[in-house]
Each structure stands twice: as structure tokens, then as C-alpha cells.
């Protein structure tokens, strides 16, 4: 008895089609992957920015300062972070923006230089005035070195102040743990594992 020719034809429609088509990804995994990519990218940008600020502080003596008053508005708004580099006082000319220590340990002030006098070698008396102030600062600042304005970032001071608070530190810790978890919970591994399991299943049936 002879069998019909169709009997000897291989049925390639099921297995070959499944192997050729990519594995289906659940819509939830697609959304998760998109959000994961965005959060990790944002975390990378923030990390690079922090490293850049830290490196600049070490290499060039640049330090960040949060602006808490409006004395330099509109040039430097409240809530900005000013980056200044420590330089000899001789480099500060009229019109420069300088950061100096207030007398009697009252903190730092960032104002514009309106007058610079050298009463003795290497020692300068700087008269400063805020752009928004009607009068000069009460007394000159006697310095040998001072911070010279480099640039500022508007609004960054609010973020820095928040992160220094208790709630901000908790938020930063939680955000760091979230980024770490997202880094290890890669949806591609799940789909890859599912594809491998599907391949093993097809192998058993072949």
C-alpha cells in the first residue's frame, strides 16, 4: 500500500513560524521599559553633573553657593547656585562679581566690585554693592584672595536646599535605591528568558 505524497511533506508552518517571529512583549513590559530607560537616563545625567561639579571643585577650586537673597537681581535671581573660583584679589576689577567672607563670621556675600584699593602688597580692600541695592555694603572687605564669579544656574539652589533637609535626604536615598533596582530589573532579560524557554519547548517537540 502506498501513502499519498502529502504524507512525506514536512509541516514547517507551526515551528518555523514561531521561531522566525520575535517574541511578543506584554504592553505592561513595554511601558515599564520606556519608563525605566527614561529614569536611568535622567539618573545618568544627574550623576555626570555631580561628578563634573566635584571634579571642577578639585581641579579649578570652583565651589557652588546657594543665593538666598535678591541683592544681585536681576543678574543672579534668588534660588540660583553661583559657581565661583578662588583667585588672588588682584584679579578682581571694578565690575567683577566677587564672593567674600563677611566680617565677624556672618557668612559669605556675593556682590559686584565697585572699588578696589591695595593698601599694602597683596592685600586689597574691596568695596562691594549688590546690583539691586541702593547703597554700597557698609564697609570694605580686606582680602588677599576671593571667589570670582564663573557662572550660575537658575533654580538649582531650591533643589540643593531641599536635598539638604531631612525629607530631601530621604527622597535622595529612595531615588538612589529606585535607580539601582531599575538597573537590575531589565525587561530584556525576562523576554530573553522566555524566548529561551520557548526554544527548549520546541526542541522537545521536534
**In the numeric block, which cell numbers belong to residue 47?**
550623576
Average pLDDT on 134-160 reads 92
CA nearest neighbour of 73 among 39, 120, 111, 101:
111
Look at 24 and 138; give whichever has higher pLDDT: 138
Task: Give the pLDDT score at 190.
Answer: 56
CA distances from 105 to 63, 74, 86, 124, 127 (A): 19, 27, 18, 19, 18
Q: Within this chain, do residues 184 and 128 fall inside the same structural domain, yes or no?
A: no
Task: Give the pLDDT score at 21.
Answer: 57
Q: Within this chain, do residues 84 and 141 fall inside the same structural domain, yes or no?
A: yes
The answer to whether position 202 is within a domain reads no
Number of domains in the chain: 2
58-70: per-residue pLDDT in tens? 777 788 899 999 9
The answer to whether position 3 is within a domain reads no
Q: Within this chain, do residues 56 and 76 fall inside the same structural domain, yes or no?
A: no
Instruction: Reply yes or no on whether the pLDDT at 18 is more than 70.
Output: no
Tell me what the pLDDT averaged over the chain comes to: 80
Binning pLDDT at 50, 70 and 90, where does residue 46 land? confident
Instruction: Reply yes or no on whether the pLDDT at 88 is more than 80.
Output: yes
Task: Give the pLDDT score at 17.
Answer: 47
Q: Within this chain, do residues 53 and 72 fall inside the same structural domain, yes or no?
A: no
The answer to whether position 203 is within a domain reads no
The answer to whether position 8 is within a domain reads no
Binning pLDDT at 50, 70 and 90, where does residue 110 land? very high
- Helix residue ranges, H only, the chain: 13-20, 27-60, 156-164, 166-184, 187-205
CA nearest neighbour of 137 among 150, 147, 126:
126
| Whole-angstrom distance, CA of residue 84 vs CA of residue 183 | 35
What is the extent of the structural domain holding 49?
23-60+164-192
Instruction: Reply yes or no on whether the pLDDT at 193 is more than 70.
Output: no
The answer to whether position 187 is within a domain reads yes
What percent of the chain has pLDDT above 90? 38
Task: Give the pLDDT score at 135.
Answer: 95
Task: Give the pLDDT score at 23.
Answer: 60
Produce one character per residue of 99-109: b if its CB has 16 or more CB atoms within 10 Å, e if not: bbeeeeeeeeb
The answer to whether position 206 is within a domain reads no
| Whole-angstrom distance, CA of residue 152 vs CA of residue 78 | 11
Backbone torsions φ then ψ of 50, nearest 5 degrees: -65, -40
Q: Within this chain, do residues 70 and 131 fall inside the same structural domain, yes or no?
A: yes
Instruction: Tell me 80's DSSP state.
Output: -
The answer to whether position 16 is within a domain reads no
Average pLDDT on 100-114 reads 91
Amino acid at each position: 500500500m502506498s501513502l499519498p505524497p502529502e504524507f512525506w511533506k514536512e509541516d514547517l508552518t507551526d515551528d518555523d513560524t514561531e521561531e522566525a517571529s520575535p517574541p511578543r512583549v506584554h504592553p505592561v513590559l513595554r511601558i515599564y521599559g520606556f519608563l525605566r530607560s527614561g529614569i536611568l537616563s535622567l539618573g545618568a545625567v544627574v550623576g555626570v553633573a555631580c561628578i563634573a561639579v566635584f571634579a571642577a571643585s578639585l581641579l579649578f577650586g570652583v565651589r557652588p553657593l546657594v543665593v538666598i537673597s535678591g541683592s544681585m537681581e536681576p543678574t543672579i535671581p534668588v534660588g540660583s547656585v553661583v559657581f565661583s573660583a578662588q583667585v588672588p584679589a588682584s584679579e578682581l576689577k571694578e565690575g567683577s562679581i566677587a564672593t567674600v567672607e563677611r566680617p565677624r563670621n556672618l557668612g559669605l556675600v556675593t556682590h559686584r566690585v565697585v572699588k578696589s584699593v591695595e593698601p599694602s602688597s597683596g592685600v586689597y580692600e574691596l568695596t562691594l554693592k549688590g546690583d539691586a541695592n541702593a547703597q554700597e555694603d557698609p564697609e570694605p572687605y580686606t582680602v588677599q584672595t576671593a571667589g570670582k564669579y564663573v557662572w550660575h544656574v537658575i533654580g538649582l539652589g531650591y533643589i540643593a536646599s531641599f536635598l539638604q533637609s531631612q525629607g530631601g535626604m530621604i527622597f535622595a536615598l529612595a531615588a538612589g535605591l529606585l535607580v539601582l533596582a531599575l538597573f537590575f530589573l531589565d525587561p530584556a532579560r525576562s523576554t530573553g528568558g522566555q524566548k529561551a524557554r520557548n526554544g527548549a519547548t520546541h526542541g522537545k517537540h521536534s
